[in-house]
Structure 1
Amino acid sequence: MMKKITLLFACITSFVKLAMAQSFSNTEVSFKSPDNKITYGGTLSVPTGNKKYPALIFISGTGKQDRDGLMAGHKVFLEIATELAKNGYAVLRLDDRGVGKTSGTYEAATTADFANDALLAVQYLKTNKQVNTKKIGFIGHSEGGAIMSIAAPQSKDVRYLISLSGLAMNGYDALMSQNQKIVAESQLPDYDKARSNDINTLMFNVALKYADSTNMEEKLNETYKAWKAKDDIYFKTLNVQFDHFRFPVYSFVNYAIGPWYRYFIKYDAQKTMSKIKVPVLAINGDKDNYVIGEPNLQNWKNYIAAGGNKNVETHLLKNVNHLLMPCEKCTQAETQTSKNSVSPEVLKIIITWLNKTIK
């Protein structure tokens, strides 16, 4: 008898949850930049009904991504957007520059350019009759945290921010901490870990110093050449037969002299985030190797509070990676093969916060 009651209760619960979930529609949308040089393509998800809905704009992180946020085989943005739409929120997801239906050249753009893209998306949403124009916000992943931090203070139409594994550190500090974390968790012998950290630090310092200089490439190559001469002498003292360590100097230098890197390494998070005056929700996983959870969450609170805004809620989730998925070993290889979706806890936190703060 007890089993039947339990089964009946489970069925009723499932039915209630299904009934509470709103239906929604997906519409292909596009709009142009003011100079008509870029066409933006994306998907707008809107709950079914004759009312105006709060709306969120997804902002992706570093690297060319489509509107679904396809990373390591997982459609992260699509998963979250679907849950938001089911709970009464309109969601706009865009292809990055040079991806899908969006034109332009991704490699020629900076974090500031992506912030301008986000602001154009706000203007587009304001033309939609089903959007509550007083309740438009950003939801940024990874570098998207920095992008929305730049964009939000520039528009009174942006009323709230949600950071998902979002960056809240200076560009230089972020690059340093990310690389140190990757090196620390690598399988390299200790002497190669030390060599990695040594050359990384030297190159990042030079890149920062010469970020606005025309001779940045020359200075980086000079730095590597000088380090390599000293490192060759050092390696001989180790009495190791074969040297397997390789620093990708050519690819690093080519990357560093590009517009994105030059802008990003100078990014001042504290100065930028102190201008944020709207409610903020920030969620990070403690197994994130790209945007380290605890220090970034502290910055979301402290940097924004420095400007007088203390309306910031943060969450550090255990055993959750950069893609906000539950993980065990939490390695990049595991992420590629994982069948997990975005953590249900992440979705619950987002919906709960939106319902109490925005809706």
Structure 2
Amino acid sequence: MNHLFRLGRLLLGLSIVMLMGGRPAAAAASLEGFWKGPLKMPGGQLEVVFRLVSLTNGSYFATLDVPLQKISRLPVTVTTHGDTVVFEAEDVGSQFTGQLLPGGKEVQGTWKQPGYSVPMTLQYAPPPISTAPKARLTPPYREEDVQYTNTAADLRFGGQLTVPAGEGPFPAVVLVADDAGYDRDGTVGDYRLLGILGDYLTRRGIAVLRFDSRGAGETGGILATVEETVTDVQAALNYLRTRPEINLSQLGVIGHGLGGNVALLTAAQPLPPNFVVALAAHGQRGAPLAVEQQANTLKSLGADEAQVEAAVKRQQAIMEIIQNTANAAQARAIVANMIRQTNPSVDSITARAGAVELTTRRYRSYLAFDPLPKLGQVKCPVLLLNGTADLNVAPETNLTALSKALRGNNAVTSRKLTGVNHLFQSDASTWPLVNGVPKESFSPEAEEVIRQWIVSLTQKKTP
């Protein structure tokens, strides 16, 4: 599936009207690499960095960084027509359109965001060349590719179980990715969020089951709702209960983003896990959270209150139509019309394609999803973690709401981690260098907080 679109769909940005962005046309030369330039804002300027990676189908995986604002890896769609290049940061309602100059090292164009437009020039820097050995070192634990079945959905799941060295039985966790359609590593570009965390925990005495979400990797089916993913995690837990290496009284679930909500809801079901770790879980319904995400990110990019308010109103209008028009065909027609009214340059085919995606059963379910009502049924220990640099799920709003909903549970620990973003990365200046190039990494502080908390519950001495 389209990885970029899966990420962008978490936010119904102001530029959602250009959600599909057109089909990427073949450019004269590859744009792969880094495109950097100064974005002039009232009172100063910000460096923006677009990172493009070529995919086998001729399109690009692309992200946007604004280092001074601690914005990292916002999803970007790329469209090319001859020497015209368009970068769309859907999450923040921003777009850069420019002309690739002869030589292919510079793009001159215009940055547009709500109520603001300014010329900008991007300079090209080639992607770093890795000289690291291609061979993967054998980890000090056992890896086993596994399959199990969610009988309720009649669906077979592919995954990997990693088991620590030594004698068991071991504590174990199921790792759950943010939203639907992720592979077992929770891969974002070349960053393996769940893969890194799973490796860290297994090296320290905790068995880990990672699985491909519906529609990804070795798992079939179509993208799941939150409620459907809960049944997938229940099936994963049931599989672990059949394994002799696993301590059946020390089974947990660790989820990231919406996966954190899945973990919490799994604990509210019959035969729950023994503990839950929720990383940047949502504390609000999908629709208002999408609005908050949009507003927070626009503010971080320098938009004033009037611009933010206008963007929010447009966003809310589209979401209200999606939620309140039961007939899908009618909803698609209205949303497509709103898309074209907001962005007259969008053709009718692209507008309709965007409207189709926004009116799917799964997206409607996300907008209506309320993560709080069932949390009173969670009785097991819970660790809630959020980063102060998280622009997608702000801790001030979401962590507080989750803690309040879990107040009847005396075994809840809630922490905010300074400088950690939504992907649980610390500031890029702290990333390890691999051949002189910073390598994206899971926050070491977050890793150790998770490990220590699990050990405190299981009383299992680990290295």
Indicate yes or no: 2:149 matched with 1:149.
no
Indicate yes or no: 2:175 matched with 1:66.
no
Counting only pairs closer than 5 Å after superposition, residues 1-359 of structure 1 correspond to structure 2 as 23-34=140-151, 37-106=154-223, 109-186=224-301, 193-210=308-325, 213=326, 215-219=327-331, 221-222=333-334, 225=337, 250-305=352-407, 308-327=408-427, 339-359=439-459
Could you say what secondary structure the match of 2:162 adopts? strand
Shift of 1:33: 2.6
Question: For structure 1, which segment, 292-301 or 180-189, has the greater mean C-alpha deviation from structure 2 after superposition?
Answer: 180-189
Q: Which runs of 5+ in 2 are unaligned?
A: 1-138, 430-436
Retained in 2: the 8 A contact 1:300–1:312? no
Note closer, same or farther for the CA distance 1:58–1:189 as it changes in structure 2 (3 Å cut).
same
- TM-score, length basis structure 2: 0.62
- Which residue identity does 2:197 align to in structure 1? I
Q: Which has the higher contact order (CA 8 A, sep 6+)?
A: 1
Could you say what secondary structure the match of 2:427 adopts? coil
- For 1:227 and 1:96, locate their aligned partners in 2 and report how far apart those are by CA, in whole Å: 31
**Superposition RMSD in Å:** 2.9
Deviation track 1:273-316 (CA, whole Å, cap 9, x = no partner) reads 222111111111111121122211112211111xx213211111
Question: For structure 1, which segment, 155-164 or 192-201, has the greater mean C-alpha deviation from structure 2 after superposition?
Answer: 192-201
Note closer, same or farther for the CA distance 1:348–1:195 as it changes in structure 2 (3 Å cut).
same
Q: Percent same amino acid among aligned pairs?
A: 24
- Which residue identity does 1:285 align to in structure 2? G
Retained in 1: the 8 A contact 2:176–2:255? yes
Note closer, same or farther for the CA distance 1:198–1:252 as it changes in structure 2 (3 Å cut).
farther
- For 2:361 and 2:263, locate their aligned partners in 1 and report how far apart those are by CA, in whole Å: 19
Q: Which runs of 5+ in 1 are unaligned?
A: 1-21, 233-242, 330-336
How many pairs are equivalent? 313
- For 1:123 and 1:283, locate their aligned partners in 2 and report how far apart those are by CA, in whole Å: 26
Retained in 2: the 8 A contact 1:168–1:269? yes
Note closer, same or farther for the CA distance 1:206–1:272 as it changes in structure 2 (3 Å cut).
farther
Deviation track 1:178-200 (CA, whole Å, cap 9, x = no partner) reads 22223323466876544322210
Deviation track 1:31-67 (CA, whole Å, cap 9, x = no partner) reads 1232684221111011122221111001111242111
Shift of 1:271: 0.4
Q: Which residue of 2 aligns with 1:9?
A: none
Question: For structure 1, which segment, 31-40 or 54-63, has the greater mean C-alpha deviation from structure 2 after superposition?
Answer: 31-40
Q: Which residue of 2 aligns with 1:18?
A: none
- For 2:242 and 2:255, locate their aligned partners in 1 and report how far apart those are by CA, in whole Å: 22
- For 1:165 and 1:348, locate their aligned partners in 2 and report how far apart those are by CA, in whole Å: 16
Structure with the higher helix share, 1 or 2 = 1
Deviation track 1:120-158 (CA, whole Å, cap 9, x = no partner) reads 001111100011111111100011012122222113241
- For 2:360 and 2:339, locate their aligned partners in 1 and report how far apart those are by CA, in whole Å: 23
- TM-score, length basis structure 1: 0.78
Could you say what secondary structure the match of 2:247 adopts? strand
- Which residue identity does 1:87 align to in structure 2? R
Retained in 1: the 8 A contact 2:318–2:338? no
Question: For structure 1, which segment, 218-227 or 178-187, has the greater mean C-alpha deviation from structure 2 after superposition?
Answer: 218-227
